[in-house]
A = this chain, B = another copy of it.
Amino acid sequence: MDPRIREHAEVIADHSTNIEAGDDVVISLPAVADELAVALHEIVGERGANPVYLNNSGRATRAYLRNSDEFETPDHQLALYEETDVFVIARGGPNVSEEADVAPETNAAYRRAYRPVLDERLEKRWCLTQYPSSGHAQLAGMSTEGYENFVWDAVTLDWEAQKEQQARMVDILDGADEVRIRSGDETDVRMSVAGNETLNDYGEHNLPGGEVFTAPVKDSVEGRVHFDMPLYRKGTEIEDARLEFEDGRVVNHSAERNEDVLTGILETDEGARYLGELGIGMNRSIDQFTYNMLFDEKMGDTVHMAVGNAYPETVGEENDRNESAEHVDMIVDMSEESVIEVDGEVVQRDGTFVFEDGFE
């Protein structure tokens, strides 16, 4: 086994989820990631925790979804997660487009039924990470070995140093009211974050981490956004999505490619028409776009907004949480002709933060 696989597993078990004696652990990986599963099982054994190993198979999921007419909440899976302490899930199948021919409305119906299971999972110590499979390497336009280097470098960052750097941006957003994001001619959006919490993501729930994120106040979002970085949704590329917000709600949308998939996302439920997250990428070690949200949204000169579910821990007690079976992140490139303003002060210009060298 490549020693970096064991290192990756140790970061998951130590830094991200803190696996301890007696923990009931669910490990949900694609079959090609069996070596990561082996390393995780070693650690689970060493610590006196208990594993359940799920096969996160795109082919099987597709087969189920394409042959189903309607969906109900799987009580047995819900029962499993209710008793689970730690949930580790990895992306990385042999073909990222495996679910490309599942109809968007089918996906939406499934997500609605599955939502109690997802909500239960999000209550746990959970970590979403990446296995450097051939499928994601191909998506990134990289050799498999090159992609292995990319992934294993990214997950074994000095997370304490990263945390400190990101804390500066958390300080700016905590207690702030209005955030305004402008980029090029087509993006100018304002939203309130008053009363909500800004979290510092340094590799816990997402590995790699490298962003700070919060929830917009649900009905406060006003303006237009052109998401100029492409988004892969179950292997289907949504290109140049544009959203227009009034009172927080998406009132117009379009996309240059696969607009129907975007429509399917927004029509999942009422919450899918509102933003659930505003995130600011701060990970300078992710230096290329790989068409994989887990990495792309962390890039140092991007912001992202997610339609759909807001993370409960980002929403203050006084504010309504946006609830949805969806949570789809979309990215804006902030490297040129772009500013982030917080309460009227410019805090990032053309990708450089106010606390970084080179800010003007």
The digit string for A18-62, where 1 denotes a CB below 8 A from any CB of B, is 000010101101010010011101111110101111110101110
Interface membership of A168, Cβ < 8 A: no
Verify A55–B70 contact, CB threshold 8 A.
no
Is A257 interfacial (CB-CB < 8 Å)? no
- The reply to whether B79 and A83 form a contact with Cβ atoms under 8 Å apart is yes
Which one, B27, B43, B68, B76, contacts A26 given CB within 8 A?
A: B76
CB distance A29 to B50 under 8 Å? no
A26 to B75, CA, bound (A): 11
Is A44 within 8 A of B24, CB to CB? no
Q: Is A288 an interface residue (CB 8 A)?
A: no
Q: Is A2 an interface residue (CB 8 A)?
A: no
**A96 interface contact, C-beta 8 A:** no
Given A76-B24, A84-B76, decide whether A45 and B63 contact each other with a Cβ distance below 8 A: yes
Interface residues of A in 67-114 (CB under 8 A from B): 67-72, 74-84
Looking at the assembled complex, report how far the CB atom of A57 sits from the nearest CB atom of chain B, in whole angstroms. 6
Q: Does A359 contact B (CB under 8 A)?
A: no
Given A67-B46, A79-B79, A80-B52, answer yes or no on A57-B37 (Cβ-Cβ < 8 Å): yes
* A76 contacts across to B, CB distance below 8 A: 24, 26, 50, 52, 80-81, 83-84
Using A52-B77, A55-B53 as known contacts, say yes or no to A22 and B72 having CB atoms under 8 A apart. Answer: yes
In the complex, which residue of chain B has the Cβ closest to the Cβ of A61? B41
A65 at the A/B interface (Cβ < 8 Å)? yes
A284 within 8 A of B: no
Residues from chain B with a CB closer than 8 A to the CB of A72 are 22, 48, 50
Q: What residue in chain B is nearest A44 (Cβ atoms)?
A: B64
Give the distance in Å from the alpha carbon of A33 to the alpha carbon of B271 in the complex. 39
A63-B38 in contact given A53-B57, A55-B31 (Cβ < 8 Å): yes
Chain B residues, CB < 8 A from A63: 38-39, 41-42, 45
Q: How far is the CA of A27 from the CA of B53 in the complex (A)?
A: 12
| Closest partner residue, chain B, to A85 (CB atom) | B76
Q: CB distance B52 to A68 under 8 Å? A: no
Which residues of B lie under 8 Å from residue A26 when comparing CB positions?
Answer: 76
B-side contacts of A69, CB under 8 Å: 48
- Complex Cα spacing A52 to B114, Å: 12
Given A54-B53, A59-B38, verify A45-B64 contact (CB < 8 Å).
yes
**Given A60-B37, A63-B39, A70-B48; A55-B83 close (CB under 8 Å):** no
- Nearest-Cβ distance from residue A126 to partner chain B, whole angstroms: 14
Q: Which of B31, B38, B64, B71 contacts A42 (CB 8 A)?
A: B64
Within the complex, what minimum Cβ distance (angstroms) separates A241 from chain B?
Answer: 30
B-contact bits for A144-166, CB 8 A (1 contact / 0 none): 00000000000000000000000
- Report which A residues bind B (CB closer than 8 A): 22, 24, 26-27, 29, 31, 34, 37-39, 41-46, 48, 50-55, 57, 59-61, 63-72, 74-84
**Top 7 nearest A-B pairs by Cβ distance?**
A45-B67, A31-B31, A55-B55, A50-B74, A76-B83, A45-B68, A24-B76
Apart from A24-B76, A38-B57, A52-B80: 17 A-B pairs, beta carbons within 8 A: A24-B74, A31-B55, A38-B60, A38-B63, A41-B61, A41-B67, A42-B64, A45-B66, A45-B67, A45-B68, A48-B68, A48-B69, A50-B74, A51-B60, A52-B54, A54-B54, A79-B79
